[in-house]
Amino acid sequence: MTAPPSRLYSIDTSALIDGLERYYPEENFPGLWEQVESLVDAGRFFCSEEVWEEARVHAAPVKAWCEKVGFDSLVKTTNLTVIGEVQQILQDHPLLVKNQKNKNRADPFVIAVAKIMGATVVTGEGGDGTANRPKIPYICNLMGIPCVRFLDIVRLESWRFRA
């Protein structure tokens, strides 16, 4: 019997903020972040360039973690394939970034990278999006792309932590 394939994760800025600032600060959950960094090292946990840029302008914990892990390890660069996928997503779902005042600019890139890589999207956004106010989980559902929250990585990876 062969092992199931390793899951890949395309991370959104909101999930990094949830993980590092809201719920699981690195200083309180070092084992969790060691596990996440092992996913990064294995090429299984990554973000788009646009998420990298968003994350680095947020509060210190997200910026510091991204810089510690490093661009080359964490980022899937924006290339013509990603751009083409983003264009298709925005053509099909123009309200995803419309009237957001430069907020959620990275959202179509998170989804595009996940689609191209066959990854699961990880976001802090709730599943309450609609056609008139689409959010990442709503679009992922329409596109058949798995979408989870940060804590779900712990469950999907079957990680166990002990005090």
- pLDDT by residue for the chain (163 residues), tens only, comes to 444 568 999 999 999 999 999 999 999 999 999 999 999 999 999 999 999 998 888 768 999 999 999 999 999 999 999 999 999 999 999 998 875 555 668 999 999 999 999 999 999 998 888 888 899 999 999 999 999 999 999 999 999 988 7
Q: How many Å apart are CA 35 and CA 109, to the nearest integer?
A: 25
Distance CA 16, CA 74 (A): 12
Distances (CA, A) of 97 to 35, 59, 60, 71, 135: 32, 23, 26, 25, 9
pLDDT at 3: 42
Q: So what's the pLDDT on residue 93?
A: 92
Widest CA span of the chain, in angstroms?
51
**Domain definitions of the chain by residue range:** 9-156
Domain spanning 9-156: CATH 3.30.2130.10 = no
Contact 54, 13 (CB under 8 A): yes
pTM check: above 0.85: yes
Q: What's the confidence (pLDDT) of residue 97?
A: 85
User: Which phi and psi angles does 152 have, rounded to 5°?
Assistant: -65, -25
pLDDT at residue 100, rounded to an integer:
59
Torsion of CA 110, 69, 66, 12, to 10 degrees: 20
